[in-house]
Structure 1
Amino acid sequence: MSMKVTLFGMAALAFAGAAQAQTEVKIGYALPENSHYGAGALTWAEVTEAETDGAFSFVHYGSSGLGGEREVLEGLQLGTVEATIVSSGTLSNFVPEAGVFDIPFLFRDFDHARATLDGPIGQEMLAKFEDQGMVALAWGEQGFRHITNNRNPVAEAGDLAGLKLRTMENPVHIEAFKTLGAAPTPMAWPEVVSALQQGTIDGQENPLSVIVSAKLNEVQKYLTLSGHVYAPNVLMVSKIFWDGLSEDEQEAFRKGAVEGGLAMRAFVDEAEASGAQAMADGGMEVNELDLDQKAALQEALAPAYEDYARMFGAELIEEIGKVE
């Protein structure tokens, strides 16, 4: 009997030791788990945990539970946060070249954007983050950005005149809306909904995946399907954390991140198919820009395009345009 107790005790101790050896991975992101961010994070966690036989346990901090995106990225640099999924809005503050993907009307459609990010141009951009204390493992996705506001529908640049529009803390976006006559107001995402409710700002711009997940129909009247900018995001880990992993563990995290990015794209595809109708059903007035209206906006953006060519290089912009 005592032998059985001893063996049982040894097994319990072994199990406790294994549990203690499990490494916690704090992952922070801006939206709740039922969003495209959550879809990517949960898939990333599931694949990585399976590939490492449960050696790692992801702890999710959705809805900006670890702070705004800049704060989370600084946490990665310090090693106090292990992982994140972050929008392109903050990335150019760390790797300025990444701002090239934020140029309005740069991408023809989803296929063009995804082919660019998955190809040499996108993969070379990911590699640049390592010098900033972060390891960018894969591209995720939010979709094409659209405009919502409480003042009026948007059909031309004149409709944006003086519109207090929340933008990400992104110099490319800010310059574009200034050029179009709006009053861009950079603001961290956690502050946006309350600012819309209080009338501090008139509107904001985001993909349907965000507009739907955040239920912006509850605080915004007009939705304009402008598709003015494609919005990727990045699944990344702290370099301090990464350097402590074995090669097999690194490969597991990379595989999980790639699968997480694909899960985000699938979520976005669904949101694109049903999101506008859901917002209309939720009380928003929806209008969509046609090709001529988009072309007119591009013409109005000519001064900004000249600046973008100087910032990122006309050659790179042309190279992106040629991706099939």
Structure 2
Amino acid sequence: MNEIRFLDGARTRAALDPRRVLEAVERALIRVSRDEVSAPPRIAARTPNGLLGAMPGHVPGIGLAAKLVSVFADPERPGRSSHRGLVVLFDPEDGRPLALMDAEPLTEIRTAASATLGARALARAGGGPVAVVGTGAQARAQLALLAALAPGTPVRVAGRDAGRAASAAALHPAGRPAPGIEEAVRGAGTVFCCTGAARPVIDRAWLAPGTHVSSVGGSDGPEVDAATVRDAALFAEWAGAAATAPPSGAHELQDLPAGRSVTLLGAVLAGEVPGRRREDELTLFKSTGHAALDVAAAQAAHAVAVARDWGTRVAL
């Protein structure tokens, strides 16, 4: 009889130790850049109101997992969407299902981890305060991770709702709400775009020389404006971010002009290729999500759950 460990939302969130997840995601990104990961492009079944995506993946030395996630418009919050789903972790040796966990907190932290690793690798040292654009679940996950890793770094938070911006900013010890997105972005050394926008939320004219942008939103359209994409050195988790159409690829990286290249972040993290080339260079890490990151976060959470004997064991 096989047993699977079930972690509800609270236990999944508690098992996702930020530093453990960050280290696992970094290893996964390096594996992706070396083409050592088995993960087909994300597929999705669409309905009039949303989509159901499937993301299986195997990362050597880390694990085997699959995620089912729905992305649907939230009728109670126009312009916002919900992300709900499940992640199943399997034994890579014999295929036994090991754990079932909530995809929502897992997706939030692995996405924040990739954006943070992008900023660590590409932003200028001492480049100025951080701006977080967005006030929803992903922005809050980004702020929580920044609070755990760099609680003294000044952070400006902006979104469409001033009250939500203030409550999100409170998640970081040095967080402050900004009057608007432009005010948050101008003068920032690093900008995290964490929205569900279908149109650009930043403008190239707001970005100072040498700014780094980590963009993780834009499932339904470009989150970053075309001028920023045009002027920036481009980085992504995987080559398919530019080579495949949405939802697996990034809206911003479609139909790049001849000669434009996208560097894989994992290759920069591994020290195999350079990241930032000049102090005044604009850099953009565009995240689309990747199954390898779900595998990494799921394995990290499972290790904590096993060590602490968390979760309900269910016989299959």
TM-score with structure 1 setting the length: 0.30
Q: Hey, which of these two has a bigger chunk of strand by percent?
A: 2
